[in-house]
Amino acid sequence: MAEILVLVDHTDGVVRKPTLELLTLARRLGEPSAVFLGRDADSATEALGRYGAHKVYVVDAPEVDELLVTPAVDALTQIAENTGPAAILLPSNPDGKETAARVALRLESGLITDAVDIVAGEGDPVTEQSAFAATYQVTAHVTRGIPVITVKPNAAAPKPAPVTPETEKWDVTFGPASAAAKVLSRSPRERGDRPELTEADVVVSGGRGVNGAENFAVIERVADTLGAAVGASRAAVDAGWYPHSHQVGQTGTQVSPQLYLAAGISGAIQHRAGMQTSKTIVAVNKDQDAPIFELADYGVVGDLFQVLPQLVEEIERRRS
């Protein structure tokens, strides 16, 4: 069966959800092999096997911690040149996309970024992308070399398919370009107990209608009731009500959760660009003509300060 390489995204050996989604998608195309860079492969191997990784290529070298994306580029390129996979899948985060572009260039292969779905085509994998704020749905496949594809988080629900993976250590030769920039320190972003914005199954976002930093407590309350991440429109961020790291949209973060709840957000095209691939969209807006309702699966015309507390109350009532 064709081998599909999947670059593992992890923190100290804890495999992140987008990698489990990639392994789930990779199984549609062939037999997934995970490429793990770092010291904690042992703790990651079990999780990778649980989601169908038949092989785990381990690259454990100091360069992996000390340098930026180039060790992953060197590793993926060298492994791909030796094993000849049918495709290489990476997460659509900034590091994943930079790595993908460099790997594709070195392998003289075609590159597809930000896929929201992948299926096995007659030859190469066929991807779906959402372009120009969901104005177009693009179906594409690579016509040259080994397809290198980045996939957005939440493109697929991770489904287990347990196997016992074979582990293979790789001695990668790091090129001189790898040492051009070094990591001086890493500091994880503080976000409390809430899930990471791009990985969350549910995102609750507030906009200008929230009308003040202190009122974001209403959004946070809904988010915590649903186990969701908090997002914000640029209007709310520019007003200083919520940090830029939570901005959803063209110049913020792109999210694709199972459920996106937009409260007090009009639905400008630049905001849509960051959330239109969400599976279900719910909007709360007091203006019945707000453009967000064109996009929403469910809409509530009303004042968010009345609607959202009632929503929390109802969820809690049903849970008790």
Q: Which is nearer to ligand FAD, 129 or 250 (CB)?
A: 250
- Kindly state the smallest distance separating residue 265's Cβ from ligand FAD, in Å: 4
Q: How far is CA 28 from the centre of its chain?
A: 19
Distance in Å, CB of 156 to ligand FAD, minimum: 25
By CB under 6 A, name the one of 46, 66, 81, 287 that touches ligand FAD.
287
Q: Which stretch, 55-63, 134-142, 233-241, 310-318, contacts ligand FAD (CB under 6 A)?
A: 233-241
- Tell the smallest beta-carbon distance from residue 262 to ligand FAD (Å): 8
**DSSP run (H or E) holding 136:** strand 136-140
Q: Does residue 38 belong to the site contacting ligand FAD (CB under 6 A)?
A: no
Please tell me whether residue 285 adopts helix, strand or coil conformation: strand
Question: Minimum distance from CB of 258 to ligand FAD (Å)?
Answer: 20
Residue from 38, 85, 195, 252 touching ligand FAD (CB under 6 A): that is: 252
Is residue 255 a contact point for ligand FAD (CB under 6 A)?
no
247 lies in the site for ligand FAD, by CB under 6 A: yes
For residue 12, the 8-state DSSP code is T
- Please state the φ and ψ torsions of residue 244, each to the nearest 5 degrees: -60, -30
Of the candidates 37, 68, 62, 61, the residue with the CA atom closest to the CA atom of residue 181: 68
Given candidates 209, 228, 230, 282, which one binds ligand FAD under the rule CB under 6 A?
A: 209
Instruction: Select the residue interacting with ligand FAD from 11, 251, 280, 310 (CB under 6 A).
Output: 251
- Which residues does residue 169 pair with via DSSP β-bridges, in sequence order? 58
Nearest to 142 by CA among 118, 126, 122: 126
Q: Is the dihedral of CA 101, 104, 108, 112 positive or negative?
A: negative
Q: Does 274 bind ligand FAD (CB under 6 A)?
A: yes
If one asks whether residue 167 binds ligand FAD (CB under 6 A), the answer comes out as no
H or E element that contains 78: helix 70-83
65/314 with CB nearer ligand FAD: 314
| Shortest reach from residue 316's CB to ligand FAD, in Å | 21
| CA neighbours closer than 13 Å in the CB half-sphere of residue 68 | 14
CA 165 remoteness from chain centre: 25
DSSP 3-state assignment of 154? Answer: coil
CA angle 88-93-99, nearest 5°?
45
Tokens representing residue 222 in the block: 């809904």
**By CB under 6 A, is residue 268 in contact with ligand FAD?**
yes
Among 147, 249, 257, 299, binds ligand FAD (CB under 6 A): 249
Q: Is residue 100 involved in binding ligand FAD (CB under 6 A)? A: no
Binding residues vs ligand FAD (CB under 6 A):
207-209, 233-236, 247-252, 264-266, 268, 270-271, 274, 284-287, 290, 303-305
